[in-house]
Every structure is written in structure tokens, then in C-alpha cells.
Chains A and B, each alone.
Chain A
Amino acid sequence: DIQLTQSPSFLSASVGDRVTITCRASQGIRSYLAWYQQKPGKAPKLLIYVASTLQSGVPSRFSGSGSGTEFTLTISSLQPEDFATYYCQQVNSYPVTFGQGTRLEIK
């Protein structure tokens, strides 16, 4: 199985900050990676797929990059509604796997 390791696991930041979350895959997954946002008690929401394609309706302050084994999710200017947990996911091969999550909290 492909393991995804996110860093950091916990991030404290302020409104207006630029933040970056990294996701590393245990083997190459080309660009077949997605990012999801989850708020407490809610279902996850697709933000980015194919590593860098923004899902319809997602604000442009979110961006993704990377290929192979290293990927990043960047939020250019944090807004209050962005404080949540973020997960990366690989769809390159079965079984589909998720990273352990990065919890983004208000400083």
C-alpha cells in the first residue's frame, strides 16, 4: 500500500498568513493526488485534484503543486473559515489511501 505522510500534523497560524502543508508518498504516484478540507462534525470537501486542479467553487487562495512523491497545499492568505483539518489522498493505485491529516488552528 502507498503511505502518505503529511507535515506538519498540527499548524497554528493567524488570519492573513501564508501556510504550506506537505504530503509525501512512499512511492511515486505521478500527479494522482487530491486535497480535502474537513471541519468538525462535517463531511470532507474536495479542494484540489490531479495535484493542482482547483475544484469548482474553491477560492483561488488555495493552490496545489507537486508530482511523484512530494506535494504541497498552499493557502496564500488564511481566512477565518480556513481553520480546519486537511487531508491528502492518492488515487494512483488501490487501495486508495489518505494522509493522517493536518490540523490548522488559529494562533
Chain B
Amino acid sequence: EVQLVESGGGLVQPGGSLRLSCAASGFTFSDHYMDWVRQAPGMGLEWVGRISNKGNSYTTNYAASVKGRFAISSDESKNSLHLQMNSLKTEDTAVYYCASLRAVYGDGYYYHYMDVWGKGTTVTVSS
């Protein structure tokens, strides 16, 4: 069974750091692109960032709101995805989900959709 389990959430002060993890099982982790998505309390979904697969050199892309503060990495040996969050702000308070992506070919490129999600981990940034 394909499964993603996030961990590492908690309470942190503004300006602090936190590292989230996402443990993957049931699929070949290194073959898949992976995303982080967050949801602030009572709000909609916000894409945080993406890491490509091993074949595409684990390239990363980020939302403007987190670029330069957050970093996504993959640990193939442990089938784990990580989100290092630095210089945290109160507006980073959210449930953070990891998702594995389905690649669909079209118009000469692969386009990626979030087909398996973890249950999320809660990050609260507050003094």
C-alpha cells in the first residue's frame, strides 16, 4: 500500500527553524516527484514547493512566499522527504502535507498531479 507519513510539526517561535519529514512506503520513492502543500487554519490549499525525481537530479521549485527560507530535500536511502523551514513567520502556521505526484505526458512535457497525500503535520509559529 502506498503511504506517506509526515512528522516534525510543533510550536516554534517567530524567526525559528523546524524540519519536517515525510516517510514514504509502498512505491519506488526515487522515481517520483514530491510536493509540499500547506493549509492555514480555515483557509485553502497553498503549494509550498516541489522536488523532482532522481532521474531529474532532484531539482527544486518553491512558492515565492517561502523561497530563500524553506528547502526541500530527498533521502533516497531512507525513502524520506524533508522540508527545512528557517526564519519562520506567524503566517507559516498551517497543516503541512506531503504528496507524491503522478506524471502525465502531454505536449512534449510531463505534468504532475498530487495523487497520494499524507495526513499532514501541524506547524504553529507563535511567541
Of B37, B111, B115, which is within 8 A of A92 by CB? B111
Q: Which of A13-21, A28-36, A73-81 contacts B (4 or more CB under 8 A)?
A: A28-36
Closest to A43 in B: B117
- Looking at the assembled complex, report how far the CB atom of B38 sits from the nearest CB atom of chain A, in whole angstroms: 11
Q: Are A98 and B45 in contact (CB under 8 A)?
A: yes
Q: Is residue A39 contacting chain B, with contact meaning CB distance below 8 A?
A: no
- Looking at the assembled complex, report how far the CB atom of A37 sits from the nearest CB atom of chain B, in whole angstroms: 11
Of B47, B104, B113, which is within 8 A of A95 by CB? B47
**Chain A hits for B104, CB < 8 A:** 49-50, 53
Q: Is residue B69 contacting chain A, with contact meaning CB distance below 8 A?
A: no
**Total residue contacts A-B, CB cutoff 8 A:** 64
Of A34, A43, A53, which is within 8 A of B120 by CB? A43
Q: Is residue A69 contacting chain B, with contact meaning CB distance below 8 A?
A: no
Q: Is residue B35 contacting chain A, with contact meaning CB distance below 8 A?
A: yes
The residues in B between 110 and 127 inclusive whose CB is less than 8 angstroms from any CB of A are 111-115, 117-120
The tally of residues in A whose CB lies under 8 Å from a CB in B reads 28
Q: Are A44 and B114 in contact (CB under 8 A)?
A: yes
Q: Are A46 and B113 in contact (CB under 8 A)?
A: yes
- Looking at the assembled complex, report how far the CB atom of B7 sits from the nearest CB atom of chain A, in whole angstroms: 15
Q: Is residue A91 contacting chain B, with contact meaning CB distance below 8 A?
A: yes
Q: Is residue B55 contacting chain A, with contact meaning CB distance below 8 A?
A: no
Interface residues of chain B, those whose CB is within 8 Å of chain A, are 35, 37, 44-47, 50, 61-64, 97, 102, 104, 106-107, 111-115, 117-120
Besides A42-B119, A43-B119, 17 new A-B residue pairs in contact (Cβ under 8 A), listed by A number: A30-B106, A30-B107, A32-B106, A34-B113, A36-B45, A38-B45, A44-B37, A46-B115, A49-B104, A49-B113, A50-B106, A89-B45, A91-B111, A91-B113, A97-B47, A99-B44, A101-B45
